[in-house]
Amino acid sequence: MFSKLIQRYAMNKWMISLFTGMGMLMLFSGCAMTQTSTTAQVKKEPKVIVQKVDREDIKQILQEEKFIYLNNNPDRVFAVNGEGIAPQNTVSPAQAMALAKRAAIADAYRQMAEKLYGVQINAKDTIKNAALYDSRIVSQVNGLVKDATITEHDFKDGLFIVRMELKMNGARWKEIFAY
């Protein structure tokens, strides 16, 4: 117990001498700092302002300052042909044609989404006894298609064909799909 008190006293004495030494060092270095700080005040450096700028700000600045801003983004037209087959078990030829048209439009929207967003492909092969036993390929499309118009349609021999087009400004296309 007595040895612990001696160790604690020695530790306190060491800490006091450390703080005293640091105080003296700061006192003498403080005097030197006042002389160098006056010379630093003579040299005035310009202030630098950091500002975040986004794409819209740059467009606005270019238009306001009347810089040459080339808009080489013509309209883009995406076109697809959707096909739908009339089912055999319908009540009337009109119902067959309506269902074929519906299938053709759905096929055209799917193809348009494939063009715009791409297709996700998942494939799985199963090998058994060193030979291909089973092969499965699943394709999936997810996307939103707006403002597509049907420009042509035709029903012939139970097949309904739809031509669908989507017109989009080139700048808008780059903003949404260029990645």
Residue 150: strand pairing partners: 164
Residue 76's region, left for phi above 0, alpha for psi from -120 to 50, else beta, is beta
- 67: confidence class by pLDDT, cuts 50, 70, 90: very low
- The answer, yes or no, to whether residue 116 has pLDDT greater than 60, is yes
What is the maximum alpha-carbon separation in the chain?
Answer: 110
Mean pLDDT of 93-102: 93
DSSP 118: -
At 52-63, the pLDDT tens digits run: 777 777 777 666
Which residue in 161, 76, 148 sits closest to 109, CA to CA?
Answer: 148
Query: Per-domain residue ranges for the chain?
Result: 1-41, 76-177
- 47: confidence class by pLDDT, cuts 50, 70, 90: confident
- The answer, yes or no, to whether residue 5 has pLDDT greater than 60, is no
Who's near 18: CB < 8 A, 6+ residues apart? none
CA end-to-end distance (rounded Å), the chain: 73
At 68-95, the pLDDT tens digits run: 444 556 788 899 999 999 998 999 999 9
Are β-strands 159-168 and 76-85 bridged in parallel, bridged antiparallel, or unpaired?
Answer: antiparallel
**More confident site: 178 or 71:** 178
Residue 84: strand pairing partners: 160
Contact 98, 77 (CB under 8 A): no
55 three-state secondary structure: helix
**How far is the C-alpha of 92 from the C-alpha of 171, rounded, in Å?**
47
Alpha-helical regions (H) of 75-155: 93-117
DSSP 157: T
Which residue in 39, 74, 69 sits closest to 55, CA to CA?
Answer: 69
